[in-house]
């Protein structure tokens, strides 16, 4: 009998650890090759991990709800026959001192079916969704608090994530303990708290003090009695007795839903929002799509939707107004030279399972057909559960589409650490004034929400008007 070591897999270049959400098998259970063995969560996606071999689960080394580094042995499987035969392509290495040969799994090449089957807003026919809904909701535990050393300093690693020397020094200087620091959602790699995240909290805590007092938050022990955003629970429990447990269903948030909730609270605290709205004439786009859709599908193998026109217009407008393609780092504005276009996607058939944002990297280097291909590929990955963490990281600007649900427009929340987001409403035939006459034309309502610290109404409004300009004058050849 060969003993196979199952290791925490590498789910992306920026991922250094993962949390075990659920084991689907218990010790002693038989398992087939490629049968789902466990579910893991990173800071970006939840994934199902298949067994590398057929055999019997001998031991679970890492328990449910624990977080460990990539490459850590998490389980042992007894496999019949030789390890090399049952785990071909996994990598077999004999153990010393007469131990059984053991195969290891832990590379990104291993297929991982993600739980996030998405109702893809982009890539489907006219924004329609075909994704299935998840059948179960994972139970989550409260976040583990970061530990503090004997001298009051936050330790480098608290069992869930690392803290840089700079972050630890700022935390010490400001009197921020490990428990508070562990509750701050991070925008860095693997959800790490960056200098930007910490300074944003420090800037916002004075303004939050009155709100916290009104909400009954406990008085802070920080200098000046100011309250940190992390001291206000982003997910407060309902008042005891406010609902009858026999008349409601209690659905614990899964990992993605909870992280989204924390991220949205952070964004509302960090970014003072302003918004602009424009109604754009889409008649030329609709007519052009009608003429090109047959030829396009024959050439590319998938349907031509309105999505590529929106993405293309957005990228061209960002080129003209790069001030919306920045992040804020303390008192500095960091202008991104690459345009990595995030596409907001609702999870589940009814949109109740959270939100995920796949990213088209270097979108400014692509033609409209190239953007269509990239969006279609991300949609296919979502439907086949093959999105990887790298597919949803590194975005510099986001586009979201409330119009997929028939809404005329929506006011979106900026995705941190970005400073602007474009909302696309439903494309409808409307009665409008056109060339001095009353006409019925296809139009769309667009919204731009932006961080007013660095994007003023002039920039935000001009950017949105430029998006409309490119939509009203689409390219004939693409």
Whether 334 and 323 have beta carbons less than 8 Å apart is answered as no
Tokens describing residue 437:
């006459």
pLDDT (0 to 100) of residue 171 = 81
Q: Is the pLDDT of residue 115 over 60?
A: no
DSSP state of 144: P
Torsion angles phi and psi, residue 67, rounded to 5: -115, 130
Whether the per-residue pLDDT at 415 is higher than 70: the answer is yes
Q: What is the pLDDT of residue 123?
A: 38
Provide the percentage of residues in the chain whose pLDDT is more than 90.
38
DSSP secondary structure of 107-132: -TTS--EES--EE-SSSSGGG---PP
H helical segments located in 321-422 = 368-383
Average pLDDT over residues 361-383: 91
pLDDT bin (cut points 50, 70, 90) of residue 470 is very high
Fold designation for 2-114: OB fold (Dihydrolipoamide Acetyltransferase, E2P) (2.40.50)
Does the CA dihedral 468-472-473-478 come out positive or negative?
Answer: positive
Q: How confident is the model at residue 148 (pLDDT cuts 50, 70, 90)?
A: very low
Confidence at 325, pLDDT banded by 50, 70, 90: very high
Q: What pLDDT is recorded for position 287?
A: 96
Structure tokens at 284: 């030329």
**CATH of segment(s) 272-472:** 3.30.559.10
Range of 2-11, 197-206, 427-436 with top mean pLDDT: 427-436
161-184 pLDDT, tens per residue? 677 767 777 888 777 877 777 777
Q: Where are the domains of the chain?
A: 2-114, 272-472
- Check residues 137 and 421 and name the one with the higher pLDDT: 421
| Rg for the chain, CA atoms, rounded | 25
Per-residue pLDDT band for 306 (boundaries 50, 70, 90) equals: very high
How would residue 467 be classed by pLDDT, with cut points 50, 70 and 90? very high
**Residue 69 or 362, more confident:** 362
Q: Do 162 and 156 form a contact (C-beta atoms < 8 A)?
A: yes
Comparison of pLDDT for 200 and 273, the residue scoring more: 273
Mean per-residue pLDDT, 439-443: 97
Asked if residue 327 lies in contact with residue 196, where contact means CB atoms within 8 angstroms, the answer is yes
Q: What is the pLDDT of residue 158?
A: 58
pTM of the model: 0.61
- Kindly provide the residue ranges of all beta strands, DSSP E only, lying in 87-178, ordered along the sequence: 92-93, 102-105, 113-114, 118-119
Lowest mean pLDDT: which of 7-21, 207-221, 407-421, 463-477? 207-221
- Lookup result for tokens 């579910």: 39
**pLDDT value of residue 366:** 96
Residue 200, pLDDT above cutoff 60: yes
Query: Comparing 83-92, 345-354, 361-370, which segment has the lowest mean pLDDT?
Result: 83-92
Angle between helices 307-320 and 457-472 (to 10 degrees): 130
Q: How many percent of the chain have pLDDT more than 70? A: 70
Max mean pLDDT among 109-118, 123-132, 240-249 falls in: 240-249
Reported as a pLDDT band with limits 50, 70 and 90, residue 88 is very low
Shared fold status for 2-114 and 272-472: no
Q: Which residue has the higher pLDDT, 87 or 177?
A: 177
Q: With a cut of 90, say whether residue 450 has pLDDT above it.
A: yes
Residue 153 confidence (pLDDT): 55
12: confidence class by pLDDT, cuts 50, 70, 90: low
> Which stretch, 52-61, 170-179, 340-349, has highest mean pLDDT?
52-61
Active-site positions read: 452, 456
Cβ contact 447:423 at 8 Å: yes
**Of 3-12, 129-138, 235-244, highest mean pLDDT:** 3-12
Q: Does the pLDDT at position 323 exceed 70? A: yes
Averaged pLDDT, 221-225: 38
Give the list of residues 6+ apart from residue 140 with CB closer than 8 angstroms, or none: 252, 253, 254, 255, 258
pLDDT 10s digits, 377-407? 997 887 776 788 888 889 999 999 999 889 9
Q: Is the pLDDT of residue 412 over 60?
A: yes
Phi-psi sector, 216: left (phi>0), alpha (psi -120 to 50), beta? left
Averaged pLDDT score across all residues of the chain = 76
Task: Give the range with max mean pLDDT: 13-17, 83-87, 418-422.
Answer: 418-422
């Amino acid at each position: 009998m060969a003993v196979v070591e199952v290791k925490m897999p590498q789910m992306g270049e920026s991922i250094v650890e993962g949390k075990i959400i659920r084991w689907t098998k218990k010790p002693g259970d038989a398992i087939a090759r490629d049968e789902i063995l466990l579910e893991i969560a990173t800071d970006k996606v939840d994934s199902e991990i298949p067994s590398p071999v057929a055999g019997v689960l001998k031991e679970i080394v890492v328990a449910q709800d624990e977080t460990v580094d990539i490459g850590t042995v998490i389980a042992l499987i007894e496999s019949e026959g030789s390890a090399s035969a049952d785990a071909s392509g996994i990598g077999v290495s004999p153990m010393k001192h007469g131990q059984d040969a053991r195969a290891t799994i832990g590379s990104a090449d291993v297929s991982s079916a993600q739980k996030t089957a998405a109702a893809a807003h982009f890539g489907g026919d006219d924004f329609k969704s075909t994704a299935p809904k998840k059948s179960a909701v994972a139970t989550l535990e409260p976040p583990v608090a970061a530990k503090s050393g004997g001298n009051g300093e936050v330790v480098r690693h608290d069992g869930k994530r690392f803290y840089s020397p700079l972050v630890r020094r700022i935390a010490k200087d400001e009197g921020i303990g490990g428990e508070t620091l562990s509750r701050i959602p991070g925008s860095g790699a693997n959800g790490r708290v960056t200098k930007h995240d910490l300074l944003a909290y420090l800037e916002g805590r004075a303004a939050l003090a009155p709100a916290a007092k009104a909400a009954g938050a406990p008085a802070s022990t920080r200098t000046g009695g100011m309250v940190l955003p992390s001291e206000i629970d982003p997910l407060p429990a309902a008042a005891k007795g406010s609902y009858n447990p026999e008349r409601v269903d209690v659905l614990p948030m899964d990992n993605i839903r909870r992280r989204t909730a924390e991220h949205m609270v952070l964004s509302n605290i960090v970014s003072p929002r302003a918004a602009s709205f424009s109604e754009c004439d889409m008649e030329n786009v609709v007519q052009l799509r009608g003429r090109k859709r047959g030829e396009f599908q024959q050439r590319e193998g998938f349907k031509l939707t309105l999505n590529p026109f929106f993405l293309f217009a957005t990228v061209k407008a960002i080129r003209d107004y790069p001030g919306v393609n920045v992040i804020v780092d303390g008192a500095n504005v960091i202008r991104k030279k690459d345009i990595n276009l995030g596409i907001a996607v609702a999870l589940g058939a009814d949109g109740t399972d959270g939100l995920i944002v796949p990213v088209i990297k270097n979108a400014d280097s692509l033609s409209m057909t190239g953007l269509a291909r990239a969006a279609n590929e991300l949609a296919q990955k979502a439907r086949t559960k093959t999105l990887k963490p790298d597919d949803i990281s590194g975005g510099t600007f986001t586009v979201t589409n409330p119009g997929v649900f028939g809404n005329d427009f929506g006011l979106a929340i900026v995705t941190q650490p970005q400073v602007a987001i474009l909302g696309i409403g439903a494309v409808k035939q409307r009665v409008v004034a056109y060339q001095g006459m009353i006409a019925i034309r296809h139009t769309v309502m667009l919204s731009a929400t932006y961080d007013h610290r660095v994007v003023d109404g002039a920039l935000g409004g001009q950017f949105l008007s430029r998006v409309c300009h490119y939509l009203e004058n689409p390219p004939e050849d693409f």
